[in-house]
Amino acid sequence: MHYLNAILNPAQCGFLNNALIALLRSGRLDWTQDNYVRDCCGLGDIPQVDEFYDTVERQVRPIIGPAAVRANSYSRIYFKGAYLKPHVDRPGLDWTLSVCSFAEVEWPISAQGLDYQVASVPIAPGDGVLMRGTRQVHWREELRCRPDQLVIQHFYHWSEPGAAAP
């Protein structure tokens, strides 16, 4: 896991937060309630989120290498009780960058490294965590907060040459 400071600045985070809240209010986000993830809503490939692919890519390219290609993005708003069960990402999402744009409480992401060591880190707004999404098991414990608090995360994915398409 690579912790990356200041992937996005406060103005960029505000722009993304406003976009997600507008989509939430308009009913355009998909609600998720299953055994894998719950108490959240999200949507993939949102144009306002994708506007920042170049910005985040400049910071991750030295780690992911020149051959990795953009796969997709996905954004979620998480509410009280949300969780993410341990999993690896589906084929073709070889690199995952999780960027926080808003958090009223700390909500660590945990991952098992390729060395089998587990690390848990909260992601501050504007910061991100980059990992090998298809190789590293990752999860989040239940979000413990007041009902009026939330966390907004954006996920940018890259595929490696020869990997299955998402």
What is d(CA 130, CA 83) in angstroms, rounded to the nearest whole number?
Answer: 19
pTM: 0.93
Average pLDDT rounded to a whole number, residues 157-166: 77
* pLDDT of residue 136 exceeding 60: yes
Instruction: Tell the burial category of 137 from Cβ atoms under 10 Å away from its Cβ (0-12, 13-18, 19+).
Output: middle
Q: Cβ distance 41 to 152 under 8 Å? A: no
Return the domain boundaries, the chain. 2-124+145-159
Weakest-pLDDT range from 1-5, 64-68, 122-126, 161-165: 161-165
List pLDDT tens digits, range 70-100: 999 999 999 999 999 999 999 999 999 999 9
pLDDT for residue 116? 83
Three-state SS for 61? Answer: helix
Extract the tokens encoding 15. Answer: 């722009």
The top-level CATH class assigned to 2-124+145-159 is: mainly beta
